[in-house]
A and B are shown apart, each in its own frame.
Chain A
């Protein structure tokens, strides 16, 4: 009797073991901004993550499951982000980290991932230096140099004199430096540069100064949304377009999710970026249709949604290849060979040396298409472009 029950118990234990062995659960720690005054950007990332998980969450080897754990960093708060990452690594034992909207947060998390050997994918944070902080960091979003540099090369062919106006924070400085480097190297003249405060209620005085300097074009960088809109309105209000001053910038100026709210002032703005919701690629059309079905007919996915989508795809690729048994170094090796021809943005790969994204940059113009504003792609500025900053200044 006793022997029988022991045997039964052993058999049961075996079954339980087999069951747990076949049901591999991969934990993904997601750090984004869900509350606070800057939750709008976090909302974009969240929509991208969840859309991918909903449509592709089951495309895994048999028995492998994914468990995302969402955490709120409440805005550009590096200390909060670092604490959340630590908890996710130590307590929840996540095998991947993905996030964040903000560069300072990603920069605070990166050193932890080096120590704990947890692959960390940036779905948005674009600060040019983050990959240097950890060999387990990979980025599918973009760097500002990637948009600003080819735009500067293009602008040098069309315009002689350019004024630059950027928001006074790190991304603004990077966009400014990338653009000016390329524009000057190709013979252009910068007639003036101004850095405007981030919390600025009125851009008109700056714009009047630019108008009086009579450049051929104005290169601008502001965070998408009300800042970019306010700057454009000042440009329109003072009639700079009529004076023949063209408005150009990186795609951050006219992000697809904010574009409808900006209104007609955005018409004619020229930008360089890797993603437009209006792009004709079949993968993008399917993506935009799925997004609208999920979140609303009048909404458009911006580049952050695509960043989140591609970050998930990169992680799913690594999970599939390893059949759910995650090894951090094997993961990084897989990341470095990753290439996706069906991203909404077109072809996407990672640079094996820098773990930074490699993708195409498109020149776009804001036009009205079928009654809505759209970033219409005019030409491909650069094909499979690596981050120009690291190409020029060395890959540490």
Chain B
């Protein structure tokens, strides 16, 4: 028994000792959190690699963005923030900012001005939706359809409202399993003017109307939770059309050569960008700010578009978008911001959703389970 006890005591000691030292943050390291997959790869190529080369700082990729909001909050409660920079969607940035989990920044002070001298505030413009949010890309939730499943003699679908037209385009659809975007499209395609959508959605009647519109396609719809689902469903021919992020559709069409077409009309514009967690020490903060300044300048943002078909959040980056890094095709026509695609676009109203998300989500889930 004695030996066992001794063994246990030793292992306990080593355990505590190694735990105490396990977490020393290396002076020359930075942990950046992102989504993983092709998206992280594009950031690695466009931002991380040149920055590491320039400064010698080692960047560690953490692919926890889908868990970022919850994890940041727990880190904050524990007073031990191990992340230096986090990639989140705009809606989550607002939530993190509201919770005091992200640092408020002064855009003109932190971010580089455009090459022609335009201030960062003007260059980023409307994409600066929250005091904590540092915009990176514009992406959109839009529709892809199987070109070989379009009924003969019918023109291919153009956009969101064709999803509701079961007579013209029979077949299954796929939509995101949460109210954001779906509620807006439902009202818009029910004949509500673009400007009135959010006002109407605030009312019980407006919500009922949106649900009634969604009811018409409910039993033909597969509801997805991960962005990779719609591409897989399209590749399988399981659905006729479905919503997903435009970069995923680009990859299905251009990289995988699937018989899939894009329907851009009323694409839902959305933003993705950085937030800096609150609670960083001064020297870590300084390093992060330096990185952010580097990674969001006009040229870098344009560079990212070489690897993935998301539009740069800066106006001044748009003309610099070149060809795809491996396929060699021009990327501009695949950007959600391209004039040909952006004829009708829907701008997600994040601040509105910050208020109504809890309420509408409860209603949406209740509706789904009926």
Partners in one complex: no
A interface vs B, CB < 8 Å?
A: none
B interface vs A, CB < 8 Å?
A: none
